[in-house]
Amino acid sequence: MEFAFYAAALIAVLATLRVITHTNPVHALLYLIVSLLAIACVFFSLGAYFAGALEIIVYAGAIMVLFVFVVMMLNLGSAVAEQEKQWLKPAVWIGPGILSLLLLAVIIKGIYSVNGEGIQGSVIDAKAVGITLFGPYVLAVELASMLLLAGLVVAFHVGREDRLDGVADADADKKTTEGRA
């Protein structure tokens, strides 16, 4: 279990560095997804299965929505189609495949390490979820929400910059035309 923790932590740090240093926003968001999945692996290896599951469902799922939002805002067109062809190559899926196998191994280890009684299930209400999230895991929740907010702001400004340049050029053309008349 210790190896899984260190491997997932290393993947999370490297993927987060790529998020910060990558100039292509689409690639940066993909690295952010890898980073969030690696953080979920860290949670699972520490025995925080609830936080790990929420990390995958809420944040990695929300990042996928943010990814679609960025692609729609940037209107990449044929560049997106070309990128999708690149994603279909088997070599691209080695890293995510290894990360998925690591996550699966941690989950299986967690399931088999439960005592002979099995996993006891109970109904959990929204209050218990909130207390659990904002109790011992408040720092992880806040950091992930700040990452989401930062990605949203960056996507907005990257998409807005192209539109403002187009508006400014149209205004300049209009003034030039009015000046000639």
User: pTM for this one?
Assistant: 0.47
Highest mean pLDDT range out of 2-6, 8-12, 44-48, 54-58?
A: 8-12
Residue type, 120: Q
Handedness of CA 21, 3, 41, 83 (dihedral sign): positive
pLDDT in tens, 84-137: 677 777 777 788 888 888 888 887 887 777 666 655 667 778 888 888 888 888
Angle at 52 between CA 92 and CA 151, to 5 degrees: 60
Report d(CA 144, CA 133) in Å as an integer. 12
The two structure tokens encoding residue 110: 């967690």
Instruction: Give the count of beta carbons closer than 10 Å to the beta carbon of residue 83.
Output: 15
pLDDT in tens, 23-80: 777 788 788 888 988 999 898 888 888 888 888 888 777 767 777 676 667 665 566 6
Report d(CA 144, CA 68) in Å as an integer. 19
Name which of 121, 145, 123, 155 is nearest 58 in CA terms: 145
Chain centroid, CA 105 distance in Å: 21
Question: So what's the pLDDT on residue 154?
Answer: 81
pLDDT beyond 80 at 173: no
